[in-house]
Amino acid sequence: MDLQKRSLIKFSMKRKRIIFDTNALISAFLLKKSVSSLAFDSALMKGEIITSEVIHKEFVTVFFRNKFDNYVTFANRLELVESLESQLLFWPENLIKPLQICRDPHDDIYLELAVASHAFCIVTGDRDLLSIDPFYETRIVTASDFLSLF
């Protein structure tokens, strides 16, 4: 069964869909006791963490930058990415429509996924994204707010 069909079957379980932006994910994986890490673990218990191929590609590209070599080895990053992929649900790209909403156009990928998936919330520390909370039916919150509100 291909990735899109598997993802759609998993999405049919009426759980809250939660999106983590790249920086929140990196923080969760680099700092195991961080608020982002606690929010990630909580999100796994309370809902489904969803992503798109575009968002995942951005995460992998950033996570493998040399600046993270002092925090985690390349081999450990590979293991973390494999582990993460098994915990994420990938939203089919053909169901995502382009938007131009955010002051930073690179952040639109999170809003596009939120609209397409009817996401419950986006977890981020990005001020541009946080400034438009709520976005339609999707809350945009910090990791700390996620833990206290949900």
Q: Read off the pLDDT of residues 43-69 as tens digits, 9 standing for 90 and up.
A: 999 999 999 999 999 999 999 999 999
For residue 105, say if its preceding peptide bond is cis, omega within 30 degrees of 0. Answer: no
pTM: 0.88
Q: Where are the alpha helices (DSSP H) in the chain?
A: 3-11, 22-30, 35-46, 53-63, 74-87, 108-117, 127-130, 143-149
Q: Is 134 exposed, middle or buried (0-12, 13-18, 19+ CB in 10 A)?
A: exposed
CATH of the domain at 50: 3.40.50.1010
Q: Give bridge partners of residue 29 from the DSSP assignment.
A: none
CB 138 within 8 A of CB 107: no
Give the structural domain span for 100.
3-8+15-149
pLDDT recorded at residue 32:
86
Provide the domain count of the chain: 1
